[in-house]
Amino acid sequence: MTEPASASVTEHAGARAAGPTAGDASNPLFEFLCRMGDDRLILGQRLAQWCGHAPILEEDIALTNFSLDFVGQAAAFLKLAGEAEGQGRDEDALAFLRDENAFRNAKLVELPNGDFAFTLVRQYFFDAWDVLLLDALSRSTHATLAGIAAKALKEAKYHVRHSAGWVLRLGDGTEESHRRTQQALNELWSYTGELFESDEVERALAADGVVPSFASLRAPWETAVRDLLAQATLVIPDDARVVTGGRRGRHTEYLGHMLAEMQILPRSHPGATW
Amino acid sequence: MVATREQVLDWLHEVKDPEVPVVSVVELGVVRDVVVGPDSVRVDITPTYSGCPAMRVMEDEIVATLQQHGMTNVSVRTVFNEPWTTEWMTAAAREKLRAYGISPPLHLQDDHPTLVPLRRNVVIACPFCGSHTTTLRSEFGSTACKAIYTCNECRQPFDYFKAI
């Protein structure tokens, strides 16, 4: 934000030419911190799209409060990512001057919001995972990462309380709310597997105690999710597909459109300030 | 200009949370440390909520306030070594909140220390009439740190400063 415009532009051009390639594990810490930051940035941007459109005022405020938390968390993780990379990119450069294929978020978070049920089922899947991941990261051997995770964990705990409450109410609610929530679940289930995928980045960092094994989060997540969905009278679809690729920069067609909207101001007016 | 750590902390009481302008950044627990060097001062702060937009304002005001007191080389560092908690708010700060019309945060052991329950039974007192029969309207309010309640006795809506 404080950099001169020309520096940002040059860095951006450089990043495009020599940016991380698919599955690059040469700087696993940078890769991982981008995943953490990007999941939050993209989900935060999606949730902000509910501003002025939620079914009731209280939910409008709730979803935008969530958005604020996620964008704040993203700033902290991306700032640390920039430091890990050591190329002079700060959180703003990473958020606004990277192209779609440099984003490392899971595909789950970039999907369009759909209806309120779709947004809340997606949110619950994310939050139930986020609490487990952040709890493990709060014990990371990387002190700053552990500190940011401990801060974010407090927020994740009230996020999951809220999203779980809505999945329960919508699933076990009216015929219409049940139908829409079950449909959201059917559409979203195959996107959850990506959250637990292991790869070189995880193995390199887990060896030093920086991150937990991602796969180890699967069992406690499924236990919590299955229990809540059963209470909500919802049925997990018989769908073993795992839609993946986001962590390697291969995204759905939806991400580019969203980034265009999100990034246009800093890209059209580099270095602009209020 | 050389000042003591205590003097700097005293001056920092002038910097209020812009969203809750009755408590200072020191009372709020946002200021974690002050390090006074021979010709500089560094203030360590920690965010209340990750996305709290007031943090940047508080940072700027910390610098401006200390400059007004003659400190020239002022830096502010954001630290994450311990996550902020409402437990750091003093009894005096809690009373200031109540007098301002915001129900102060409960202590964590009375609220939700570790578990993530779906349904909670937490009693929040009305800051206006003191009644304990109040209703949660929304866990999310005008700022990240507040929830919206209504008093069943005096019918007044009010903010509750959430315990985290």
Whether residues B74 and B104 fall in one domain: no
Q: Which domain holds residue A98?
A: 5-15+25-268
Instruction: Please indicate, yes or no, if residue B139 is contained in any of the structural domains.
Output: yes
List, as ranges, residues 103-162 from A with C-beta within 8 Å of B: 131, 143-144, 147-148, 150-155, 157-158, 160-162
- What backbone torsions phi and psi does residue B135 show, to the nearest 5 degrees? -125, 130
Q: What is the ipTM of this complex?
A: 0.88
Instruction: Please indicate, yes or no, if residue A20 is contained in any of the structural domains.
Output: no
B→A interface, C-beta within 8 Å:
46-47, 49-53, 79-85, 112, 116-118, 137-142, 144, 148, 162, 164
- What backbone torsions phi and psi does residue A49 show, to the nearest 5 degrees? -70, -15
Q: What is the DSSP string of A24-71?
A: --SSHHHHHHHHHHHHHHHHHHHHHTTTTTSSSHHHHHHHHHHHHHHH
Q: Count CA atoms closer than 13 A to A52's CA, side-chain side.
A: 1
Of A61, A66, A34, the C-alpha closest to A47 is A66
What does the pLDDT look like over B67-114, one tens digit per residue? Answer: 999 998 999 999 998 999 999 998 999 999 999 999 999 988 654 544
Instruction: Please indicate, yes or no, if residue A274 is contained in any of the structural domains.
Output: no
Q: What whole-number distance in Å separates Cα of residue A125 and Cα of residue B113? A: 23
Residues of B with CB below 8 A from A153's CB? 83
Q: What whole-number distance in Å separates Cα of residue A170 and Cα of residue B61? A: 45
Domains identified in chain B, total number? 2
Q: What is the pLDDT along chain A (274 residues), one digit of tens a residue?
A: 343 333 333 333 333 434 444 445 689 999 999 999 999 999 999 999 999 999 999 999 999 999 999 999 999 999 999 999 999 999 999 999 999 999 999 999 999 999 999 999 999 999 999 999 999 999 999 999 999 999 999 999 999 999 999 999 999 999 999 999 999 999 999 999 999 999 999 999 999 999 999 999 999 999 999 999 999 999 999 988 999 999 999 999 999 999 999 999 999 999 888 7
Residue of A nearest to B81 (CA): A147
Q: Which domain holds residue B58?
A: 5-78
Domains identified in chain A, total number? 1
> Are β-strands B146-151 and B134-138 bridged in parallel, bridged antiparallel, or unpaired?
antiparallel
Interface probe with A: pick from B116, B149, B161, most Cβ of A within 10 Å: B116
Instruction: Please indicate, yes or no, if residue B94 is contained in any of the structural domains.
Output: no
Q: What whole-number distance in Å separates Cα of residue A146 and Cα of residue A148? A: 6
Q: Maximum CA pair distance of chain A?
A: 57
Q: What whole-number distance in Å separates Cα of residue B52 and Cα of residue B73? A: 26
Whether residues B68 and B117 fall in one domain: no
A39 has a chain B CB within 8 A of its CB: no
